[in-house]
Structure 1
C-alpha cells in the first residue's frame, strides 16, 4: 500500500517550516555580537544554515518518492513528475546532489584540525557536489526496464507520452546482465560518502587528543569544546538521517526482493534533517542558548527578574568560594 501523498506533504511542509524558523534563528544568533568570538566558524555555520533552508524548501516542492524493486529502485519528485523531460532530468539530478550535500563534512573537520582556509573548503565542497551530479546525470541516462510500471501505477503511467520524469536505477537488465555503469556509479557515490565519514572519524580522534595535549586558557578551551560538540552533532545527524537511509535504498534491492514503500520511509527520514540540525546546534553552544533565553525574557517582560536571579546566584557562588578559602587558610 502506497503512503498517501498528503502524508508526504504534511511531513515535508512541516519540516520546511521548522527548518526555516530554526535556521533563521541560527543566522540571527550568528549575526549577534555574542557570536563574534566564534570567528570563521560563523561563516561555515551560516553557509550550512542557508543550505539547510534551501534543501528543505526544495524537498517540500519536489516531494521525493522512492520505490524499491528487485535489484533496483525508482525515484522521482511528485512535484516535477510531469515537467518537460530535459527540465525534469535537471531537477532529478539537482535532488541527487542536494541529498549528498550533508555528507560534505570533511572541510569542517579539516579546518578545525589543520586550520585550512574556507576557500579550500568551498573548492572541495563544489568538486564533491559536481562529482555526485555527474554520476547522477550518467545513471539518469540509462534505459529502464518495465519492472517499475506496476509499482508506479499509484503515481503515473510509465507508458505515457511524454514519459513521466521517473529516475530508474536498476542493477540488472532484462536478460540478467549486470549494468556496469549504474553499479559503478552507485558504488562510487557510496565510496565518496564513506570516505568523508572515515576521514571525519580520524579527525575526531585527533582533535580529542589535541584537547588533552594543548594548553589553552579556560574560557577558550570551553568554547573550543562547545564548537567541537556542535561539529560532532553535524557529523552524527547526517550519518543517521542520510547515510543509513542511503545504504538501505541502494542496498535493500540487492536481496532480490521488492521492498516497495521502505524507500519512502527512508526519503521522509532524510527530509527531516534540515529541521533538526539547527536546533541541536543552538542547544549545544551555550552562547546561543543564553542569547535565546535573553530574547525570550525580553519578549515576556521578565528581563529584570532574570537579572536578579543571576545576581543572587553569582553572590551565592562568591560567598561559597570565600568560605572555602577561609576554611583552607585556617587548616
Structure 2
C-alpha cells in the first residue's frame, strides 16, 4: 500500500508538470503536451511526456501485483512468496511494464514529418497549437504516402501490439487471482471465525472496487482509443475525456479501502469527530 501510495503521488506530480492531453484523429492516437513558454526545454518535455506514458504502463503492472498480493495474503503464503529480497523482484514488475510501455511509444511512435503534416490542421483547429509548439508520442497506423495511397506503419502496429499484450496480461492476472482469492475466502469462511472472514471479505471487496476504478477510468478508455485507431475512426475532442479520467484516478483510487474496510472507516470518522470537538472547544475558549 505504501509502494502504491508513493507511485500515485509521483504520477500526480508528473501529471501536473507535463499536463498531457490525449487526442485521437482517424488512425492517429497522440499523447502530447504543450512545450510553448515552459520553464523546461522542449527535449526535456519530450522525455517527461514519454515517462508519463511509462507511468501509465506501470499502473497496468501495479493492478496485477495488487491482486496477486491479496491472494497470497488470503492463502497465507505471503511470507514465503515475498520473503527477504524476493519482495524487490515483485516491486520491479510495474517499472518493467512502464519501461516497455514508454520505450515502445518513444522509440517506435515518436514525431515524424508524415505525422506532423497529418495533425497540423486538427491541432490548430481544436487546441490552437502548432506542431512546433508541442511534444508528442503516438501511433499513426494508416499513413498516407506522396501518391495519396495508404500504407500500414509497422512500428505503430508493433507498439500497439506490445501495449495490448501488457494490457491483456494485467487483465488476466486480475481475473485469475481475483477469482482464486474469492474461492479461497469462500472456503476459508467455513473453517475460521466470523471476524477473520469479515476482514478478508472487506479487503477483497475493497480491492475489487479499487481495481474497477482504474479499469473504468484508465484501461477501458485506453482500449477504446486503441480500437478506434485501428478502425480509423475519428473521436476528435471526445478523446479528451480520457485525459480527465486519467488525471482524477490517483485521487479516487484510495477511497475504496478507506470507506469499505471497517478499521479504516472507524479511524477516519474518529479523526473528524475529534477535529470537530477540538474546533468547538477552541471557539468556546476551553
Residue of structure 1 equivalent to 2:274 = 298
Question: In the comparison of the two structures, how many residue pairs are matched?
Answer: 255
For 2:277 and 2:111, locate their aligned partners in 1 and report how far apart those are by CA, in whole Å: 62
Once the two structures are superposed, residues 170-212 of structure 1 have per-residue CA deviations (whole angstroms, 9 ceiling, x without a partner) of: 0122221111111111121122112111121111111111112
Shift of 1:142: 5.4
Q: Counterpart of 1:150 in 2: which secondary structure?
A: helix
For 1:280 and 1:138, locate their aligned partners in 2 and report how far apart those are by CA, in whole Å: 37
For 1:79 and 1:220, locate their aligned partners in 2 and report how far apart those are by CA, in whole Å: 53
Identify the range of structure 1 (120-129 vs 237-246) with the bigger mean alpha-carbon deviation. Answer: 120-129
Residue of structure 2 equivalent to 1:169 = 139
Q: Are residues 1:280 and 2:241 paired?
A: no
Q: 2:31 aligns with which of 71, 75, 97?
A: 75
Once the two structures are superposed, residues 242-283 of structure 1 have per-residue CA deviations (whole angstroms, 9 ceiling, x without a partner) of: 011101222223333422111211111121111111122200
TM-score (norm 1): 0.71
For 1:226 and 1:261, locate their aligned partners in 2 and report how far apart those are by CA, in whole Å: 39
How well do the aligned residues superpose, as a CA RMSD in angstroms? 2.1
**1:62·1:80 contact (CA, 8 Å) conserved in 2?**
no
Q: 2:123 aligns with which of 144, 152, 155?
A: 152
For 2:225 and 2:37, locate their aligned partners in 1 and report how far apart those are by CA, in whole Å: 20
Task: Show the 5 A alignment for 1:15-164.
Answer: 45-78=1-34, 83-103=40-60, 104-114=62-72, 115=78, 116-117=81-82, 118-141=87-110, 143-145=112-114, 146-153=117-124, 154-158=127-131, 160=132, 164=134
Residue of structure 1 equivalent to 2:246 = 270
For 2:202 and 2:171, locate their aligned partners in 1 and report how far apart those are by CA, in whole Å: 21
For 2:37 and 2:197, locate their aligned partners in 1 and report how far apart those are by CA, in whole Å: 51
Once the two structures are superposed, residues 265-304 of structure 1 have per-residue CA deviations (whole angstroms, 9 ceiling, x without a partner) of: 11111211111111222001110110111111112229xx
**1:73·1:170 contact (CA, 8 Å) conserved in 2?**
yes
Q: Are residues 1:183 and 2:154 paired?
A: no
For 2:138 and 2:208, locate their aligned partners in 1 and report how far apart those are by CA, in whole Å: 35
For 1:52 and 1:80, locate their aligned partners in 2 and report how far apart those are by CA, in whole Å: 27
**2:28·2:141 contact (CA, 8 Å) conserved in 1?**
yes
For 1:126 and 1:157, locate their aligned partners in 2 and report how far apart those are by CA, in whole Å: 33
TM-score (norm 2): 0.81
**1:65·1:77 contact (CA, 8 Å) conserved in 2?**
yes
**2:58·2:96 contact (CA, 8 Å) conserved in 1?**
no
Task: Show the 5 A alignment for 1:190-229.
Answer: 190-214=164-188, 215-229=191-205
Is there any run of 5+ residues in structure 2 with no aligned partner, and where?
A: 73-77, 279-286
Residue of structure 2 equivalent to 1:315 = none
